[in-house]
Amino acid sequence: MDDARSTTDADREAGRLRATQALKAFERPGDDPRFTRLMRLAAGRLHVPRASLWLIGGTQLHCKASYGGGHDSVRPRAGSAADRLIARREPLFGQMVGADAGLAALGLGHGPGGFFACAPLIHPDGPVVGYLAVEDACPRAEPGPEALEALTDLAALAMDALLHEPPIAPSTGLRSLDTERLALAIGAASLGEFEWDRTLDIYRISPRLAKIANLPVGVIPAEDGQALFRYVHADDRAEIQRGVDEQLRKRGRYEVEFRRNPDDKGRVQWNRAAGVMMADEAGDPTRLIGVIQDITDRKQQDEQRESLLAELDHRIKNLLAVVQSVAAHSARKSSSLDVFLKTFAGRLKSMSSAHDLLSAARWRGATLARIAAAELGGLAPTQTRWDGPELFLTPRAASALSLTLHELAVNAVKYGALSTENGKVEVVWRRSPEGGFALEWLESGGPPASEPVSRGFGATLVEDVVGRELGGSARIDYRRSGVSALIQAAPEALASGPPPEPEKAAAPERIVETLIAADENIRPGAISGLKVLIVEDSLLLALELEAGLEDAGVVVVGCAAELGEALSMLDQDFDVAVLDADLNGQSVAPVAEILRREGRPFVFATGYADKAAPMGFDAPIVRKPYNVHQIARAIADVTGRH
């Protein structure tokens, strides 16, 4: 029986300790003002000078809070009245500590003849986890029922406060670390902080914000919040302020982007601001805290992107117009549909090659001769000529000049010398005495040129943009003999040596040349009866290729437009596959790898330059734009049906 009772007592004590430890009160600082106020209330209510709050651990008593001084932070539990409090679960009091050795062992620090009383802290689950004690070194009358009830209530309040303690505040080291992290994040994001104290009507400007926004650091008059709005661009100020006021009214916070007033050099900066209004307990706004970010670079990038998109749109429309003109010019000189298709396809291919050269010039710089060849060679080779010394242009100058020649060439094809069969275009350039160069564009043999009624984007691009990009000037003259242009560039437009050439990838073992020549023709019926799988993401190209191959006697077993669809069709019975290298942004390489592993031949059809072609595959490559004759010959080559 004694063993059973001992086991039960041990279980109760273990449960009590778990309840005490769950409070995590030992991990928290002992100067919590909530408990100090409770101790002051307890001392005042029982009219004693000292009060203390104790937690009962396994072997020690821990002082959580005290009032009046004279208390140790930790005392031994052994021999104290803690066990009696745990067992009785009701207040204890006495006039003479020495009269009860157990009560004296509480060690409250008063001398003989003093007064003390204590009430247990009872956890909602039942166990006693501590006690609240009051004491006086001088004798006092025995506390009455009201006083004991008040002490019990205060102990209950202390228990409730222990159960609802706020999260442990981070240590000074952790707070410092968090502060440093925040400072790093704010600095990395180019953010500056400010605060508007509405009570004092002042702004506090951080050093970061002062640097970002060119504001005075420290405290400045807020002028009812208007001081910072004066830095917003005058044209936008009223609208920005209305937006901020409306957001604060609806959500208590705001986010805006705005232009600042131009600086002394006329440059306009862009800022992004965000803030939140703080209120007091009555709900009245007292201060606004916020950040401002410099987004000038982002805005410039956005504007550049919009400009590039506009230029791309313009160039695409010009390209379509050139294609239309080339088609019409080819049709007038062709004696049959078949001749027209071959001639037209050849010119389109020449334009595609010129585009590849132009791309290289834009990114790496180029010789002026290569730029002229890229823009003029694909339009009318027999009607154009260019000549001049070898000049190496910087990438920026090469891009600008290629754009200029492109605009002039498009105009010549649509309206000028290249719109007729007898017209000529001559481009000549020479070094200038100042170290730059001068380039002349001369048209002859075409219709008389007349000044346009309205100035188009092309003329603006040539005369305004290109002149500035080359550090010189550009002028277009409209003469009866044809359009002429004079472009002058500064020495800075020239590079000191030839630009680095892109590293060429190893050429595939067999490449089908996409030039118009007699060797495109194949033996009649050479590929008849072959089963072909077409993998092409452009529906129009796939339909055209399917129709053309079927005319040659080929059986098209299927057309796939997506990578997954192509992979699922590989179990079909076919002799050869035509693979578009790129399927809506996905490489066709997985399909090619399976075909190579299975020993089935295939042909690549791609619009990419050589450096973007699928590598490592022993297969013919046909460059877009292509015609059916070129694909047919590639199929004949790869299947051995020459």
**Burial class, 352, CB count within 10 angstroms (exposed 0-12 / middle 13-18 / buried 19+):** middle
What is the per-residue pLDDT for 438? Answer: 94
Residue 330, classed as helix, strand or coil, is helix
pTM over the 0.85 mark: no
Q: Which range is least confidently modeled, 307-316, 512-521, 522-531?
A: 512-521
What is the per-residue pLDDT for 504? Answer: 46
Q: What is the pLDDT of residues 42-59, one digit of tens each?
A: 888 888 888 889 888 888
Tokens found for residue 131: 């006690």
Report whether pLDDT(401) > 70.
yes
Tokens found for residue 452: 């346009």
Tokens found for residue 572: 């079909």
Interstrand relation of 74-76 and 92-94 (parallel, antiparallel or unpaired)? unpaired
88 HSE (CA, 13 A, CB side)? 13
**Burial class, 140, CB count within 10 angstroms (exposed 0-12 / middle 13-18 / buried 19+):** middle
Phi, psi of 27 (to 5 degrees): -85, -5
Q: C-alpha angle 74/77/80, rounded to 5°?
A: 120
Domains of the chain (ranges, CATH numbers): 1-164 (3.30.450.40), 186-299 (3.30.450.20), 364-493 (3.30.565.10), 531-639 (3.40.50.2300)
502 confidence band (pLDDT: 50, 70, 90) = very low
Closest CA to 216 of 207, 225, 274: 207
Q: What is the pLDDT of residues 279-336, one digit of tens each?
A: 877 778 888 988 888 888 888 888 888 877 776 776 677 667 667 766 775 676 567 8
In this predicted model, which residue has the larger pLDDT, 101 or 300? 300
Q: What is the pLDDT of residues 63-74, one digit of tens each?
A: 888 888 766 778
Q: Give CA–CA dist 561/568, Å, rounded.
A: 12
- What is the widest separation between alpha-carbon atoms in the chain? 133
What is the per-residue pLDDT for 186? Answer: 61
Residue located via tokens 């909602």: 124
487 HSE (CA, 13 A, CB side)? 30
Query: What is the per-residue DSSP string for 51-113?
Result: EEEEEE-SSEEEEEEEESS---SEEE-TTSTHHHHHHH-S-EEES-GGG-HHHHTT--S--TT
Closest CA to 38 of 529, 113, 46: 46
Q: If you average pLDDT over each of 362-366, 443-447, 513-517, which comes out highest?
A: 443-447
**Number of Cβ within a 10 Å radius of residue 491:** 13
Q: Alpha carbon of 96 to those of 112, 117, 135, 138, 140: distances in Å?
A: 7, 11, 11, 10, 10
Q: Give CA–CA dist 634/603, Å, rounded.
A: 7
CB-CB contact of 486 with 475 (8 Å):
yes
203 HSE (CA, 13 A, CB side)? 22
20 confidence band (pLDDT: 50, 70, 90) = confident
Which sign, positive or negative, has the C-alpha torsion 146, 149, 153, 159?
Answer: positive
Q: Which range is least confidently modeled, 64-78, 329-343, 367-381?
A: 329-343
What is the per-residue pLDDT for 595? Answer: 92
Interstrand relation of 555-560 and 531-535 (parallel, antiparallel or unpaired)? parallel
Closest CA to 452 of 485, 486, 425, 477: 477
In this predicted model, which residue has the larger pLDDT, 312 or 484? 484
Section 84-89 average pLDDT: 85
Q: Give CA–CA dist 249/408, Å, rounded.
A: 57
CB-CB contact of 520 with 630 (8 Å):
yes
Tokens found for residue 274: 């965000």
Closest CA to 630 of 564, 549, 542: 549
In this predicted model, which residue has the larger pLDDT, 88 or 169? 88
Q: Which range is least confidently modeled, 148-152, 169-173, 204-208, 563-567?
A: 169-173
What is the per-residue pLDDT for 498? Answer: 55
Residue located via tokens 């009785």: 88
532 confidence band (pLDDT: 50, 70, 90) = very high
- Length of the chain as a residue count: 642
Average pLDDT, the chain: 78
Q: From start to end of 206-306, where are the E strands?
A: 218-221, 253-259, 270-279, 285-294
Report whether pLDDT(572) > 70.
yes
**Burial class, 142, CB count within 10 angstroms (exposed 0-12 / middle 13-18 / buried 19+):** exposed
In this predicted model, which residue has the larger pLDDT, 520 or 38? 38
What is the per-residue pLDDT for 97? Answer: 42
Q: What is the pLDDT of residues 592-642, one digit of tens each?
A: 999 999 999 999 887 665 444 455 677 888 877 777 888 888 898 888 876
End-to-end CA distance of the chain: 107
